[in-house]
Amino acid sequence: MIIAPSILSADFAELGAECQAVQKAGCDWIHIDVMDGHFVPNLTIGAGVVSSLRKYIKGTIDVHLMISPTQILLESFLTSGADIVTVHCEASSHLYKDIQQIKAANIKAGVALNPGTPIAMVLEVIDLVDLICVMTVNPGFGGQQFIDSQLKKIIELSYYTQPRNIVLEVDGGVTRENAGEIVAAGANVLVAGTAVFRGGNAQNPEIYQSNIAQLKASTMRLQSQFK
């Protein structure tokens, strides 16, 4: 089970140091939320920032594109140093072609679904993608409440992802209280912004270390109950 800190909750004035701090605290995936102020009511960073962060990130750069139409900026992220590029099935009229373009660039392809989007929207690309990202909040902001109804979507998707070795990522509202049941439902990557960055800063990575350790412990606890 992987914890992928979302730097949306980090200090934007210290993103390089923040990425180094959470890696030192035990995470080797970094989740980068790209927002265009059109697909979601927020604006964050572009491909140039991802390229600049590449030298600070030894592990996996997991880029989550909350932009539409996807095509306009997709190519810029395929040359940004990202290891995974995830597009929203709701943000493009040519999802199959977008996924083909990511794969042709030798980058791992992800598809994300918003809470109101049925899994049927991703089944036509299920044999193309490397990752499926289930949004468990309405995209745009960190610090929101986990939408419990998405647990059954995670369980349902896991029947498609497990036999295909597709990563099942859950994104939004993940806390030490719900991490166990999310992993029990079949998730293997938990994106966490607030739950990782809360109370810390790049100069005090030990707080990040304890936040991450508590998230991981809560998933082990539940699994041991199932044994």
Alpha helix segments (H runs only) across the chain: 15-24, 47-54, 71-78, 95-104, 120-123, 150-164, 179-184, 194-197, 205-226
Tell me: does residue 194 bind ligand DX5 (CB under 6 A): yes
Interaction with ligand DX5 in 111-140: which residues (CB under 6 A)? 137, 139-140
Instruction: Enumerate residues 6+ apart whose C-beta is below 8 A from 176.
Output: 195, 214, 215, 217, 218
CB of 57 to ligand DX5, least distance (A): 16
Does position 33 bind ligand DX5 by CB under 6 A? Answer: yes
Q: Judged by CB, which is closer to ligand DX5: 100, or 147?
A: 147
Rg of the chain, C-alpha, whole Å: 16
Determine the residue type at 42.
N
Asked if 101 is part of the footprint of ligand DX5 (rule: CB under 6 A), the reply reads no
CB 137 within 8 A of CB 173: yes
148 is catalytic: no
Q: In the bound complex, what is the minimum distance in angstroms from residue 173's beta carbon to ligand DX5?
A: 5
Catalytic residue among 36, 98, 130, 171: 171
Q: Which spans of this chain sit near ligand DX5 (rule: CB under 6 A)?
A: 6, 8-9, 31, 33, 64, 66, 137, 139-140, 142-144, 171-174, 191-195
